[in-house]
Structure 1
Amino acid sequence: MKRSRSLAAWALIGPYALFLAVFGLAPAGYALWTSFVHDGAFSGVRNWSAVFDDYRLSDAAWHVGTYLLLWLPVLVLLVLSLALTLHARPGRFSSTMRFVYYLPGAVTGSAAALLWLFMFSPDASPFSPLLDLFDITSVTDALSGSTLIGILTVMGVAVHAGGWIVVLYGALNALPRDVLEAAQVDGASTWRTTWHIKLPMVRTYVAFVLISSFASGSQVFVEPTVLTTGAPGQISPTWSVNQLAYAYATQEGDFGKAAALSLAMLAVGLVAAWIVIKRTRMYATDDR
C-alpha cells in the first residue's frame, strides 16, 4: 500500500519535475555560465561588475521598487477585502461580482497596455472630461514624471486583482463550516471571525499571492514598453530592470551582462519568497 502511494505521488510530480528541470533549472544553469563568459572566454565577475557599475541600474531599481511599494500593498489589501466581502455575502450577488471583478483581468500584457494608452488619450478616451479635471491634454501629460508609476499601479491592480479574488474566494469557501458556525454560536462578531479565524486559515494562500505578485511586479516589462509608443522619448527604454536586461541582450548584444542581471533579479525574488514563507509559516503544519 505504501509503495503504491509512493508511485502515485511520483506519477503526479514527475511531469512537473521534468518541466522544471528542462525549462527552469537548465536555463538557469546556462545563464549562470553565460554570466561569467565574455567574448567566448571565461571572464570571472567582469559581467557582474559591469552590471552593478551601470548608472542605469540604480534608476531602474528605484522605479521598480517604488512601483512595488505602491502596487503590492494596494493589490493584496483590495483582493483580501473584496474576497472576504464576497464570502460574507454568498449567493447570486457574489457570483455576479466575481465575474465583474475578473473581467479586467481578461485583458493582459500588451493588450492591456494599449487599452490603457487609449484610456489616457484625451482625444479618444471616454473619460476625457475626467482627464480635463487633472489638466491632462495629451498622452504625454499623462505619462510624465511620477504619474507613470501611478498609472502602472492602477493597470497592475486592474489586471491582477480579479484572478486573485477568485483564488482567495475559493480558499475561503473551503474553510470548515463547523469552525465558522462554532464562532457564530459563541457570539463572535464578523470582524473577530475574519481576523482570528478566516485570515489565519488562508494565510498560505495570501503568502502565495504575495510571492507570485512580487515576482510579477519586479519583472514589469510589457506595460512601460508599450506605453512608450504613446509618448516617444517620455519613458526611458531602460525604465525597469527587466527592460535594462533586455537592452543588454538585444541592443548591446551582451548576453553575459543580460544573464548576470537576470540572475540578480532571480536572487532578489528567491530572497523575497523565503522571507514571506518564513514570516507567514507557509509550510507549517499543526504538529510543528
Structure 2
Amino acid sequence: MHSRVRPDRTAPYLLIAPYVLFLVLFGVVPAAYAVWVSLRTQEDTFAGARNWVAVFTDERLLPSVQNVGSYLGMWLPTMLLLVTGLSLLAHQRGGRVSQVSRFLWYVPGAVTGAAAALLWLFMLSPGISPFSPLLDLAGVTSGSDLLAGQGLSMVLTLMGTMITAGGWIVVVYAALNSVPEEVIEAARVDGAGPWQVAWRVKVPHIRPQLALMLISSFAYGTQIFVEPQVLRSAFPSQVSQTWSVNQLAYFFATERGDFGMAAALSLLLLAAGLLVAVLVVARTDLYATEARKG
C-alpha cells in the first residue's frame, strides 16, 4: 500500500506570519493608538467626538482638501498614462534601446523626498537653474511666478512623476515580459497591428500592476508633506503651511499642540486610502486567481 502524502497546510501561514506581525506592530497598533488619541483632550481627558467635529469645522480643511485634490487630479492620470505608454514602448522596441531607456527613466527615482524637493528648488531659481534660458523665455523672473495659482500643483506633479514613474515602469515592464509570446503571435496572425496588440493583449495583462500603482500613488499623494514643506522654506508667500492635509495635521500637532485633532485628521487620510484601495481591488479583481478569472 502506498502512503498518501498530505500537503503541509502550515506553510502558507508561516510565510505570511512575518508580514502579519509587522502589519500589527506598525499598522494596526499605531492606528488603534491614533483612535485613542483622537478621543482625548489636550488635558488628557475624554473628549468624545469633539476633536472630530473641530477638524470637520476647521476653515483650513476644505482648502487643504481642494489643494490635494487638484494635485491628485493632475498627478494620477499623468502617472497612469506615462507609465503605461513608456512601458509598452520599451517592450515593443526591446533590445539594448529598451534597457538603456528603462535605466534612464529609473535614475530620477534615486533622488526622493527632501533631496528631490531641494533639487527642484535649485531648478526653480531662474538665476542658477540649468533651464534659465527657458525660464527667461517664458517670462519667469522668480520661482514664485511658477508657484502662483495652480503652478504649485503642476510643479508637485512633475516632482512626483520624476520620483516614482521610473520604479513603476520597471514593475510594469516586468509584467509585460510575462505575456505569452504565442498569444502575441496569434493576435498578429489574426491581423492585429501594434496598437491593437498593445491595447487588447498587453494592457489587460498588466491591469493588476496598474491597479497596484493607482492604490499606492493615491495613498502617497493624499499624504504629501515633504515636498510642499521644503518648497515653503524658500517661497513662504506662495506655499501655505497648511497647503496639504498632512501639513494641516502637522500644524495641529506642532503649532497648536492639539494631538487629538492631528490624530483625527490622520485617521481620515487612512480611511480615504483604504476606501480607494477597496474600490480599486473590487473593480479590477486585483487578487483574483486564474481559476476565478476564468
**TM-score normalized by the length of structure 1:** 0.96
What are the within-5 Å matches in structure 2 for residues 231-242 of structure 1?
231-242=235-246
1:182-206, Cα deviation, whole Å (9 max, x unpaired): 2222222112211111111111111
Residue 54 in structure 1 maps to residue 65 in structure 2: no
Output the amino acid matched with 1:70.
M
Q: Which residue of 2 aligns with 1:193?
A: 197
Give the equivalent residue in structure 1 for 2:28: 25
1:205 aligns with 2:209: yes
Structure 1 match to 2:260 = 256
Which deviates more, 7-16 or 107-116?
Answer: 7-16
Counterpart in 2 of 1:139? 143
1:16 paired with 2:23, answer no
Q: 1:66 and 2:70 equivalent?
A: yes
Task: After TM superposition, give the deviation of residue 228 of structure 1 in Å.
Answer: 0.9
How far does residue 3 in structure 1 lie from its aligned partner after superposition? 4.5
User: Match of 1:281?
Assistant: 285
- Superposed displacement of residue 169, structure 1: 0.2
In the alignment, is residue 247 of structure 1 matched against residue 251 of structure 2? Answer: yes
* Contact 1:102-1:161 within 8 A present in 2 as well: yes
2-side partners of 1:2 and 1:12: how far apart?
19
Q: Distance in 1 between matches of 2:149 and 2:192?
A: 48
Q: Which residue of 2 aligns with 1:106?
A: 110
State the shift of 1:139 in Å.
1.9
Q: Deviations over 1:238-261 (max 9, x none)?
A: 100000011111111111111100
What is the CA–CA distance in structure 1 between the aligned matches of 2:235 and 2:192, rounded to whole Å?
54
Partner of 1:157: 161
> 1:173-188 to 2 correspondence within 5 Å?
173-188=177-192
Deviation for aligned residue 1:2: 4.7
> What's the counterpart of residue 129 of structure 2?
125
Which aligned segments of 4 or more residues in structure 1 are displaced greater than 4 angstroms? none
- Give TM-score scaled by structure 2 length: 0.94
User: Percentage identity across aligned positions?
Assistant: 55
Alignment partner of 1:225 out of 221, 225, 229: 229
Q: Give the length in aligned residue pairs.
A: 287
2:28 maps to a residue whose letter is L
- For the residue of structure 2 that corresponds to 1:239, the secondary structure is coil
> In structure 2, what residue type is equivalent to 1:33?
W
- Structure 1 range deviating more: 126-135 or 96-105: 126-135
Give the C-alpha shift of residue 218 in structure 1.
0.8
- The verdict on how the C-alpha distance between 1:3 and 1:249 changes in structure 2, with shifts beyond 3 A counting, is farther
Alpha-carbon distance, 1:35 to partner = 0.8
1:140, 1:230 within 8 Å by CA — same for their partners in 2?
no
Partner amino acid, structure 2, of 1:75? M
Q: Secondary structure in 2 aligned to 1:132?
A: helix
Gaps of 5+ in 2: none
SS at match of 1:121: coil
Q: CA deviation at 1:95?
A: 0.3
Question: Hey, what's the Cα distance between the residues in 2 that align with 1:216 and 1:2?
Answer: 44
Distance 2:82 2:239 in 1: 28
> Using the alignment, how far apart are the partners of 1:90 and 1:74 within structure 2?
24
Q: Residue by residue, what CA displacement relative to the aligned partner does 1:203-247 show, whole Å, maximum 9, x if unpaired?
A: 111100100000001111111000011113321001000000111
RMSD, aligned CA: 1.2
Question: How far apart are the structure 2 equivalents of 1:55 and 1:16?
Answer: 40
